[in-house]
């Protein structure tokens, strides 16, 4: 137990020292000149990053809602089948139009 805690503290200390001593990253010369001359370019980079973060989140959320609804319908159909009732949630299972 003490060895695990000591290892965790050493790992945090190493990453902390690395973070404090790390230098800044320079862009390629073309990107550096473009950022210096065009004031709207950083906003374009920011918008593209936000877009790249939003699209996967949206797709995963939509998939999650669809799976939740599918599971809920399956549970209702299974319960109706076990009770001998007609499930009224879908036209194939006896719902009247």
Domain assignment of residue 6, yes or no: no
Mind listing the pLDDT tens digit for each residue in 75-96? 988 888 888 776 555 555 555 5
Domain total for the chain?
1
At residue 44's C-alpha, the angle toward residues 43 and 46, to 5°, is: 60
Domain assignment of residue 57, yes or no: yes
Distances (CA, A) of 46 to 41, 50, 53, 79: 9, 6, 11, 50
Q: What is this structure's pTM?
A: 0.48
Residues 97, 91: Cα–Cα separation, whole Å: 8
The pLDDT of 34-42, averaged and rounded, is 74
Mind listing the pLDDT tens digit for each residue in 10-36? 899 988 888 788 776 666 776 677 767
Range of the domain at 77: 39-97
Domain assignment of residue 31, yes or no: no
């Amino acid at each position: 137990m003490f060895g695990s805690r000591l290892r965790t503290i050493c790992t945090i200390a190493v990453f902390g020292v690395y973070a404090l001593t790390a230098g800044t990253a320079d862009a390629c010369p073309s990107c550096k000149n473009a950022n210096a001359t065009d004031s709207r370019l950083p906003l374009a980079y920011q918008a593209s990053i936000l877009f790249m973060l939003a699209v996967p989140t949206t797709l995963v959320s939509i998939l999650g809602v669809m799976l939740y609804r599918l599971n809920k319908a399956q549970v209702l159909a299974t319960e109706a089948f076990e009770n001998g009732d007609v499930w009224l949630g879908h036209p194939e299972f006896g719902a009247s139009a």
